[in-house]
């Protein structure tokens, strides 16, 4: 006797049936497109490991903003590449810094586009760590959590004044979400949202980004403040803490090796969850596609769909423009 046709198989027979019961929708409206902003004018410096992505001067950033709007991408994330780095990362809170100027320029040209500056010091410090250093108990330099949080808050205020819609602290210092919320409220920015990098893992997938941002730590690594890739319970605890401190969205980073964490954080918090499909994830897809080993378009759509299915409401991805274009062609 043949096996009877299952309900599942019946509903897979045509595209119309599959569409009718599809559980996860992939939409450009859920993408955030990251950009690297540098000083000067009319320069695009390609990043070798990330084909299609460049360090951009502000005029080019504004051009990218127009493209994002045309493609239905609602938000940009900004990373600054300053021309001056020092021990403290003082360019981060410069009112005329690259990110502050870029926020103003984007908001002038496209007020409806959401601008989300990354908030961290690693792109601005000469040593490449995410905070300021002091001698630890063993005499070796380590990141000074509380001093760093103060500097982050100072930086956040300058982003708010420039017109940012949301800030995304990616430093992983303790207590920064609570302090940021309090200082932003006090400075008159109660509506500025916080997308907290709650579970940011000490990942090898950040390699191409650090090349792009010139933010590879000069010594040591980030394992004393970023999370151990082996820990899922801890990620949930970090997310719950950030929610308690006032985070509006909680973020898991990277995305693909941590899909289980995305799902757990979503279930445990019930909050909007964002994730960052990082530079190394992008570089692998681009390299395999360039070699002709995979179908880039199909792999990107499948990957982003899997990230959404895992529970991410918001996906920060370097594929955003391509994916938005492909999705509109598939309609
Ligand atoms: C650090 C930061 C990192 C990324 C963005 N901000 C990681 C790091 O260097 O530790 C990585 C993003 C990517 O790889 O695309 N604040
Ligand atoms: Zn950092």
The pLDDT tens digits for 81-107 are: 999 999 999 999 999 999 999 999 999
Whether ligand 1 lies within 6 angstroms of the CB of 277 is answered as no
Show Cβ contacts of residue 37 under 8 Å, excluding neighbours closer than 6 positions.
Answer: 55, 56, 57, 58, 61, 78, 79, 80, 81, 98, 99, 102
Q: 42 to each of 56, 62, 70, 205, how far by Cα in Å? A: 8, 11, 22, 30
Using the atom order of ligand 1, give the atom closest to the CA of residue 282.
Answer: 15
- Confidence band for 1, pLDDT divided at 50, 70 and 90: confident
Q: Token digits for 194?
A: 């916080």
Note the ligand closest to the C-alpha atom of 226: 1
Report which DSSP code applies to 256.
Answer: G
Note whether 72 and 30 are within 8 A (CB).
Answer: no
Residue 120 Cβ < 6 Å to ligand 1:
yes
**Catalytic positions:** 200, 253
Q: Where are the beta strands (DSSP E) in 193-313?
A: 193-200, 249-253, 273-277
For residues 10-19, average pLDDT:
94
Strand partners, 252: 199, 275
Q: How far does the centroid of ligand 2 lie from the alpha carbon of residue 170, in Å?
A: 6
Domains and CATH numbers, the chain: 25-330 (3.20.20.70)
Q: Does the pLDDT at position 215 exceed 80?
A: yes
Question: How many CA atoms lie less than 13 Å away from 52 in the CB half-sphere?
Answer: 17
- CA 60, distance to chain mean position in Å, is 20
* Each residue's pLDDT tens digit, 115-150: 999 999 999 999 999 999 998 888 888 999 999 999
């Amino acid at each position: 006797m043949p096996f009877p046709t299952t309900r599942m198989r019946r509903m897979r027979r045509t595209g119309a049936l599959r569409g009718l019961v599809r559980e996860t929708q992939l939409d450009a409206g859920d993408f955030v497109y990251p950009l690297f902003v540098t000083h000067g004018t009319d320069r695009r410096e390609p990043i070798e490991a990330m084909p299609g992505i460049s360090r951009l001067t502000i005029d080019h950033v504004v051009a990218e903003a127009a493209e994002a709007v045309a493609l239905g991408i609602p938000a940009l994330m900004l990373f600054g590449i300053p021309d001056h780095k020092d021990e403290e990362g003082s360019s981060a809170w410069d009112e005329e810094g690259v990110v502050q100027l870029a926020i103003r320029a984007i908001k002038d040209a496209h007020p409806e586009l959401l601008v989300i500056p990354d908030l961290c010091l690693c792109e601005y410090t000469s040593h490449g760590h995410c905070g300021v250093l002091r001698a630890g108990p063993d005499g070796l330099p380590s990141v000074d959590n509380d001093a760093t949080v103060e500097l982050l808050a100072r930086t956040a205020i300058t982003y708010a004044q420039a017109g940012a819609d949301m800030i995304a602290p990616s430093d992983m210092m303790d207590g920064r979400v609570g302090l940021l919320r309090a200082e932003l409220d006090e400075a008159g920015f109660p509506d500025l949202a916080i997308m907290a990098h709650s579970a940011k893992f000490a990942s090898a997938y950040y390699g191409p980004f650090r090349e792009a941002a010139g933010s590879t730590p000069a010594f040591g690594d980030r394992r004393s403040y970023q999370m151990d890739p082996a820990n899922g319970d801890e990620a949930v605890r970090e997310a719950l803490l950030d929610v308690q401190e006032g985070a509006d969205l909680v973020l898991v980073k990277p995305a693909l090796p941590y899909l289980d964490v995305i799902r757990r954080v979503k279930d445990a918090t019930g909050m909007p969850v964002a994730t960052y499909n990082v530079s190394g994830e992008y570089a692998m897809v681009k390299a395999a596609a360039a070699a002709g080993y995979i179908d880039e378009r199909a792999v990107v759509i499948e990957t982003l769909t899997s990230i959404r299915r895992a529970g991410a409401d918001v996906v920060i991805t370097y594929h955003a423009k391509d994916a938005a274009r492909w999705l509109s062609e598939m309609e």
